[in-house]
A and B are shown apart, each in its own frame.
Chain A
Amino acid sequence: MSIGSISKIDRRYLYILLFIAVSIPLLSPLKLPIPIGEHAKRVYDLTESLTAGDIVIESFDFGPSTRPENYPQAKGHLFHARELGLKVVALAFWPSGAPIGEEALREVYGADFEHSSEYGQTVVYLGYVPGNEVGMQTFGDDTSTAKGTDHWGTSLTDLPLMRDECRSAEDFDLWAEWASGTPGEQQVIQFVQGRHGGPSAVPIVVGATAVSVSGMMNFYTSGQIYGILNGLAGAGEYEFMLNIGYGYPYEQGPSLDAQSLGHVLILAFIVLGNIGYLLTRSKGGKS
């Protein structure tokens, strides 16, 4: 094996190594401790600061591709909202997010929640709201204009929460945006928060894929986004805080262990590639 070959390892070997590294902790978790970051802590603290009866919008704006990151974030927050007695209005501005939102609500509120006594009083599911950012704007201006019925076709006038309490963004106490693209957090800031009194009137917390968080940090530092659940790690941090506070099951441990080993392996690849590159260059060869 020549020196130059260190920087030219067949990618298929890298794929196999990554597959093994990710699989091991999923089968046998390492149980690494999880540090709680400020971004997730702020989401938790803001939700805790709300009082029973406050209205939270839970917007499922993601598809199956980012489900491993977004779903545990949203489910944990829904659980938190229910424990605190908050009133939840869930919806999706992505068509592919609508079935996921329904599933999360069934897990937290019960399999038949749309027929329960609390449906329409403390929780409502609107399902898919069309129109992308225009749909968001319309929903913020007048919820009944954006969509006249819930996910199952029941008129909003028959649901007391929507008819009497959640009429426009002036009534929202928190917007929880579970996002992985457009429309997402930027559109909520632009078309709902910006039009209805700013961050103090409509505070926003976001759960996003790790790859997209860097693009929203300027909104976080400016205060337009109050807190962020950053990818799978953010979901794990939130679950861990809920576990301490409410006994919520901490399920992301094995996934985060897999992510840890994956990251370390990628670092090892980078180091290996650079060793090969530097050795080749020191011998005057081409890389």
Chain B
Amino acid sequence: MSLVVKRYIPLAITFVMGIIMVIATYFLEIGSPARDATTLLTGTVDVIVATAGVIGLIVLLRHHGVNVSRRGKYWKYSTITIIGVITYLIVAVYGVAIQGRYLMVASEPVSWVYNQLYAHMDATIFSLLAFFIASAAYRAFRLRSLEASVLLLVGALMLLGRAPIGGVMWEGFPNIATWLLNVPNSAGMRAITIGIAIGAILLAIRQLMGVERGYLGPER
């Protein structure tokens, strides 16, 4: 594939689309025909997402299929992944076929898989966090230094302040927890958020100008 197709056309598309959205966001009146036209443009993301979903399915099946055929690392898990994906796909298509529903997500077979399998597995994995956190807190929260001691104290105050038992012990605990969230935590998060935002703006400018090309894949 020529360099024009692989590099220059995607860069040109990125530049043109980016500039259109910048102009629409900062210079066009809400409700104006030009701005409405850009809304239509963002609506096409649905088409891109749907296409990417199909491509993702193919890539996933190919990746795990190769791993199984070569008996690569964790190939048994790859087998389970392939079976899971294909089974769910069949269930979804079957759901549409028997119910003629507009959306697969609303069909009964898909809902059954979601409610009886996915929901329980997802909740189980997430709830294991409670046990890991308890064990980690026991091992990690140590009075090793001043910073670690402050972390421990704040963690303990939050644990007591964000559960009803803290208020039963002393009514000041919930207020302290709220203050910790509102003031020192908020100040720290604001600094991080502003830093990230400035970084994102710089990255966007670099992408628009064609300086940052990582999203196009490796240059060969």
Contact = CB atoms under 8 A, between A and B. Distances in A.
A214 interface: yes
Interface stretch (A83-91, A115-123, A149-157): A149-157
Interface string A224-244: 000000110100100000000
Nearest to B41: A138
Interface residues of A, number: 78
A273 B139 contact: yes
A213 interface: yes
Size range of the interface on B? Answer: 35 or more
Nearest to B164: A32
Contacts of A214: 181, 185, 189
Contacts, number: 189
B123 A67 contact: yes
A11 B167 contact: no
Contact of A145 (B35, B43, B101, B115): B43
Contact of B159 (A11, A195, A263, A274): A263
A135 interface: yes
Interface in A129-182: 130-132, 134-135, 137-138, 141-142, 145-146, 149, 151-153, 170
A-side interface mostly:
helix
A5 interface: no
Given A99-B115, A287-B142, A221 B182 contact: yes
Contact of B163 (A65, A98, A131, A263): A263
A133 to B, nearest CB: 10
A33 B174 CA distance: 13
A65 B167 contact: no
A130 B49 CA distance: 8
Interface in B140-182: 141-144, 152, 155-156, 159-160, 162-168, 171, 174, 178, 181-182
Given A151-B106, A217-B181, A265 B164 contact: no
B215 interface: no
Interface of B: 25, 30, 35-36, 39-40, 42-43, 45-46, 49-50, 101-103, 105-106, 111, 114-115, 118-120, 122-123, 125-126, 130-131, 133-135, 137-139, 141-144, 152, 155-156, 159-160, 162-168, 171, 174, 178, 181-182, 185-187, 189-190, 193
Given A262-B134, A267-B159, 20 more contacts: A9-B138, A14-B134, A14-B135, A14-B138, A15-B131, A15-B134, A33-B168, A37-B178, A67-B123, A127-B105, A151-B105, A216-B189, A218-B186, A222-B190, A263-B159, A263-B163, A264-B163, A269-B134, A269-B135, A287-B142
30 contacts: A18-B130, A19-B131, A33-B167, A63-B122, A67-B119, A67-B123, A128-B105, A130-B46, A131-B46, A135-B45, A137-B42, A142-B36, A145-B43, A146-B43, A151-B105, A217-B182, A217-B185, A221-B182, A221-B186, A231-B162, A260-B165, A263-B165, A263-B166, A265-B134, A269-B138, A270-B156, A273-B142, A274-B143, A277-B142, A277-B143
